[in-house]
Structure 1
Amino acid sequence: MRTYLYLLSLPAAALCAVLPRQTPSALAAADISSFKPFTFFASAAYCPPSTTKTWTCGGDCDALADFIPRATGGDGTVVQFWFVGYHPPLDSIVVAHQGTNPDKILPVVVDADAFLEDLDPEMFPGLPDGVKAHQGFQDAHALTASDVKTAVLDTMSQFNTSNIVLSSHSLGAAISMLDALYLKLNLPEGTNFKFVGYGTPRVGNQAFADFVDSQLPDLTRINNKQDPVPIVPGRFLGFRHPSGEVHISSSGQFLSCDTQDDTATGCIDDTEGNIFDSSLGDHSGPYDGVVIGNCDDDT
């Protein structure tokens, strides 16, 4: 652990080659507002299945009153909470996984399981050579993958839609990124995928990031200010983010960053060179006014 923290403290320029730097563009107010439903879904995933099953999880559920839950699961300890359902305003199936607190996820991403391993070819058929992902995240994903796929297929059939949204926070976002790729490779051709992750850690290597970019072009990773989670595991360990970063600056501006692990001024890899520049409190938000993870269920 001490070695990892030392390496994480090194400047980014000392760890890898500097990528092209371009000025990120600021998102318009309408674009920022369009993320709000996904933020509420990611937050609702922290609520126990007893409440997401009946969609009585308090403010997050109230904000998405039209949502129709179809399947829920997890125990919040060994298996992260998760739910699948249909959201009529988006004409989409929504899949969300529970995240965790930053003081719990940081040890997960830098300790024993923070190494890259091949993905299971039976779960991820047709992968190019060299695609690897964080072993701990793979293990967490495998616990729910089959149940989620079954629920998604049932919901697709019932509501006659081919649109799938995956929206989660923290550890849940890492699981959801693997879920998105897993479902993309195992569901009928023509299924449409949208991924919105909040405080997403790095999940895989360069080949993984490239493959995700090719398979999931509608992918957004929203990082809040000085959140430490999106900069781990380190790039010096071979990890790489796919494209799609939106960074919320210290002033609250939403900046769209163009490249994988973008080092342009204002993107998180520029403003936060190591975890000692970070703030654990930023991991939960707020994301356009929403603090993720404070389930206020009615039970």
Structure 2
Amino acid sequence: MLTLISLLSILPAALSAPLSIFGQNIGPSTGSDSANGTPTPVSLATVNSTLLRPAQFARVAYCGTSEIESWNCGAPCEALKNITFLQAGGDQGAIPLYYIAHDADEQQLVVAHEGTDPVKFLSILNDAQFGLVPLNSSRFPEAANTDIQVHDGFQQTFERTADGLLAGVKAGLASTGVSKIAVTGHSLGAALASMTGAMIIDAVDPSVQVTVTTFGMPRGGNQAFADFLDSKVGLTFVTNQHDPVTIVPPKALGFQHSSGEIHIVDDTQQNLVACPGQDNVNCATGNSLIEFDIVNHLGPYFDDVTFGSQECAGGIFGQGSR
């Protein structure tokens, strides 16, 4: 456990709706639910069938571009079979990596965003711009003339790759013929995934099922943005024990989580609960900024899934294009 002063000094290095996961609803589905409602257990069968695979795809996003293109990134790639790489973007610095792949086993496209790795200082800078700014209404027309606001740094980072990513998704749908898209990410990548999911939903045929599942996600916007995610995306996000990243930026600055939290209660990796409402005080929101564990941000989450470049074939140093 660390003090608040320690948190403020190291937190930038860690930063990188309905509970509908890959089409399966596993909990309360509206942000209007009580923020202090009683969490309900999530079975390990549900974890393995709905949470594990997106976590594994999000873990791959920390590996080098060349490793992902060849799907030869060590344990993260080995855990996922029958995957065809389609596209990648970003420079794993000021522009974090994303990749698009075809998952033949699930017959879906996967879009995964890289999070902020402590060894990549340029990416860390994306997290430092904590101000709230209007959601880009030219990209999200429904945000026009509303009070929807998002984290300035997250939106700027999202916009750097949004057009190329969306073009890749449309090309992938055409080339594979699938009708499902799974969007995922960890840390900063989780915040980007929430915006990516909303963008894709606006841009593809309504018959295409789009699900967004994230891990270690910071708050990405204000109350209106949280309500927007609830109504449009149905985000599911996993928080791990005393991870401080999931409770910043603070509510006192106007930030709010959407509904859809799944909280890992302890380090057994087997005790998970679904948290009703937005920012439920019985889950991550109830954690203290005085006592926390930064290691919880990286993992393990479940099935020993831990995030970060150290999990990849090249380790922290010498990964692909890194």
For 1:148, which of 165, 172, 176 is the aligned residue? 165
Partner Cα distance (2:157, 2:281) in 1: 30
Contact 1:67 1:88 in 2 (8 A): yes
Q: Which residue in 2 is equivalent to 1:29?
A: 44
CA distance in 2, matches of 1:150, 1:64: 25
> Aligned pair in 2 of structure 1 residues 65, 137: CA closer, same or farther (>3 Å)?
same
Partner of 1:206: 223
| Amino acid across the alignment from 2:196 | D
Retained in 1: the 8 A contact 2:136–2:143? no
Deviations 1:142-190 (A, max 9, x none): 1111111011001101111221111110001111111111111222223
Contact 1:49 1:82 survives alignment (8 Å): no
Uncovered stretches (5+) of structure 2, i.e. residues with no partner: 9-33, 315-319
Q: Confirm or deny: 8 A CA contact 2:85 2:100 kept in the other structure.
A: yes
Counterpart code for 1:155: G
CA distance in 2, matches of 1:142, 1:53: 23
Query: How far apart, CA to CA, are the structure 2 residues paired with 1:106 and 1:55?
Result: 26
- Mapped contact 2:35–2:279 kept (Cα < 8 A): no
Tell me how far 1:295 sits from its aligned partner.
3.6
Match of 1:171, as an amino acid? Answer: L
1:100 deviates by: 1.4
Correspondence for 1:41: 57
Contact in 2 for aligned 1:108/1:114 (Cα 8 Å): no
Structure 1, unaligned stretches of length 5 or more? 6-18
Judging changes above 3 Å, is the alpha-carbon distance between structure 1 residues 80 and 20 closer, same or farther for their aligned structure 2 residues?
closer
Alignment-mate amino acid for residue 44 of structure 2: A
* In structure 2, C-alpha distance between the alignment counterparts of 1:245 and 1:295, rounded to whole Å: 25
Amino acid at match of 2:205: P
Residue 277 of structure 2 corresponds to residue 263 of structure 1 = no
Question: Aligned equivalents of 1:60 and 1:81: distance in 2?
Answer: 16
Greater relative contact order (Cα < 8 A, sep 6+): 2
Q: Distance in 2 between matches of 1:57 and 1:25?
A: 36
The Cα RMSD (Å) is 2.2
2:156 is aligned with 1:139: yes
Equivalent in the alignment of 2:192: 175
Give runs of aligned pairs for residues 1-299 of structure 1, distance below 5 A.
20-34=35-49, 35-101=51-117, 109=127, 111=128, 113-127=129-143, 129-217=146-234, 219-252=235-268, 253-264=271-282, 267-270=283-286, 272-274=287-289, 276-288=290-302, 289-293=304-308, 294-297=310-313
SS of corresponding position for 1:90: coil
Identity of aligned residues (%): 31
Shift of 1:20: 4.2
Deviations 1:195-214 (A, max 9, x none): 11110000011111101100
The normalised TM-score by structure 2 is 0.81
Distance 1:20-1:38 versus aligned 2 partners, 3 A rule: closer
TM-superposed deviation, 1:25: 0.8
Contact 1:125 1:185 in 2 (8 A): no
Measure how far apart 1:102 and its partner are.
Answer: 6.5
Deviation of the 1:48 alpha carbon: 1.4
TM-score by length of 1: 0.87
